[in-house]
Amino acid sequence: MRILLIALVLLAVPAHASHTRTLTIDGRTRTFHVYRPAARGPARPLALVVVLHGGFGSGAQAEHAYHWDEEADRDGFVIAYPDGFRRSWNAGGICCGPANSDKVDDLAFLTALIGDLEKTEGIDAKRVYLAGMSNGAAMAYWYACNGPLPIAAVGSVSGSLAAPCGKAHAVSVMEIHGTDDANIPLAGGHGRKAATKVQWLAVARTLDIFRKADHCAPAVSHVSAAVTTTASLCEGGRQVSLITIAGAGHQWPGSLRPRLLGRLMGLDPPSSALDATRTLGQFFAAHPLD
């Protein structure tokens, strides 16, 4: 009986679950969850992907819904899932929620998080990536504009900048966006479904900011069923790409269906036309800092 109970306990606990850590920034205790592939030893520095949840989400929700842990096992990433302040990120302008109204310094939080993981997890500083959904995507863009640490690439899903970017860093970018997104419209402006007054930049304008910073060649487009990919090759091996999915709304393609709170806040059923996590993982792996 004792052996059976031990076996049941071991089966109930994930073998390689993430663990939770904290940092204190401006007197606030900030939490984040870290997943490191068990098969990867400490000898070789690993890439870091920081996954930023959407508004009203959490690090645990992003880990559960977007299956980045599986991508980490496949490609050898360390994944960090930080928690926004009261489920929001201060991503510039009036975006978004309590983090913005309380003037939370999320640039400082992400900078401290990356620095901490470079020391404790042996991260390769040339392979640090930001991935985000919605408000988290806006935060990833905002860091690429204003953050002090170099980022190799940004992966944005259903995102855009919430405020103009003065001078973007040279960074690879991939945006994945549904053509029928009513929270952060592809053409910019106010979202019709989200509880926000943000005037979003058109996605094309956001990407043009980074194409200019990256000194990119003209974009080339490819259409495959519902998915249109428009990619620009840039100096230093960088790339700026937009993937649109016809008919898709405000969602992370290939993720789990949103729970009740997500549906109430305007999240749409995820498209099956693309696995956004796998697509971004491959993009990140191909674009380290030059």
Rounded Cα gap, residues 53 and 151, in angstroms: 18
Instruction: List the pLDDT tens digit at each of the 290 positions of the chain.
Output: 333 322 322 233 344 578 999 999 999 999 999 999 986 555 678 999 999 999 999 999 999 999 999 999 999 999 999 999 999 999 999 999 999 999 999 999 999 999 999 999 999 999 999 999 999 999 999 999 999 999 999 999 999 999 999 889 999 999 999 999 999 999 999 987 655 689 999 999 999 999 999 999 999 999 999 999 999 999 999 999 999 999 999 999 999 876 655 554 567 899 999 999 999 999 999 999 98
Rounded Cα gap, residues 150 and 52, in angstroms: 17
Q: How far is CA 58 from CA 28, 86, 104, 266, 282, in A?
A: 17, 9, 16, 16, 24
Q: What is the DSSP letter of 264?
A: H
Structure tokens at 178: 């549904």
pTM of the model: 0.91
Rounded Cα gap, residues 257 and 270, in angstroms: 6
User: Could you count the other beta carbons within 10 Å of the beta carbon of residue 111?
Assistant: 16
Q: Hey, what domains does the chain have and what are their CATH numbers?
A: 18-285 (3.40.50.1820)
